[in-house]
Amino acid sequence: MRVSPRDLFADGLGEAGGDGDTYQKMLVANTRTIVEGLGGKYSAFKP
């Protein structure tokens, strides 16, 4: 069953300049994909 049209970063980081090119950006991208895929609303954390 597919939850989201976007793929999760699972085997490593993404390409340079992409959403998952650093560990932190990869975690944010995966969190957004899961939250929106389950019908929630994602809002970026701003410290």
Burial of 8 (0-12, 13-18, 19+ CB in 10 A): middle
Predicted pLDDT of residue 17: 92
In a domain, 27, yes or no: yes
Residues of the chain above pLDDT 90, percent: 64
Residue 36 reports pLDDT greater than 90: yes
In a domain, 47, yes or no: no
Residue 41 reports pLDDT greater than 90: yes
Number of domains forming the structure of the chain:
1
Torsion sign over Cα 5, 25, 32, 13: positive
Predicted pLDDT of residue 22: 95
In a domain, 24, yes or no: yes
Side-chain-side CA neighbours of 1 within 13 Å: the count stands at 3
Instruction: Give the domain extent around 11.
Output: 1-41
In a domain, 46, yes or no: no
Residue 26 reports pLDDT greater than 90: yes
**Burial annotation 12-35 (CB, 10 A radius, 16+ → b, else e):** eeeeeeebbeeeeebebbbebbee
